[in-house]
Amino acid sequence: MNLTDEDRVGLESLLRREGYDGSVSARAQIVLWRAEGRSAPKTARMAGTTKPTVYKWIARYEQQGIDGLSDRVSTGRPPGISAEVRAGI
């Protein structure tokens, strides 16, 4: 995995940014470690996660860049009652 200087600077800034979601920083660190040539198993051990998780974040970064390291918005569980029933409540 090769990173441009600009990519590396952007990822490193995520590691230092205060008030930023810690999980995004951890994901940025995963990308940086892989770019340094560390294996997926070693990266997973260092990050305290699994190999599939490492592969997932690398793929998301390659497809979407830094934005891909953020959690996706979830709409949550669909309501258990219909709109008509809710309107009558």
pLDDT of residue 60: 96
Number of structural domains, the chain?
1
Question: Does residue 80 belong to any structural domain of this protein?
Answer: no
Question: Does residue 85 belong to any structural domain of this protein?
Answer: no
Question: Does residue 28 belong to any structural domain of this protein?
Answer: yes
pLDDT of residue 88: 66
Question: Does residue 43 belong to any structural domain of this protein?
Answer: yes
pLDDT of residue 5: 93
pLDDT of residue 40: 96
Q: How far, CA to CA in Å, does 39 sit from each of 20, 60, 73, 84?
A: 27, 17, 30, 54
> Which parts of the chain have pLDDT scores under 70?
18-21, 74, 79, 86, 88-89
Question: Does residue 75 belong to any structural domain of this protein?
Answer: no
> Which pTM does this prediction carry?
0.76
Q: How far, CA to CA in Å, does 41 sit from each of 8, 53, 74, 84?
A: 22, 10, 29, 52
Question: Does residue 86 belong to any structural domain of this protein?
Answer: no
Tokens (6 digits) for 64 = 């979407």
42: containing domain: 5-69
CA atoms within 13 A on the CB side of 70: 10
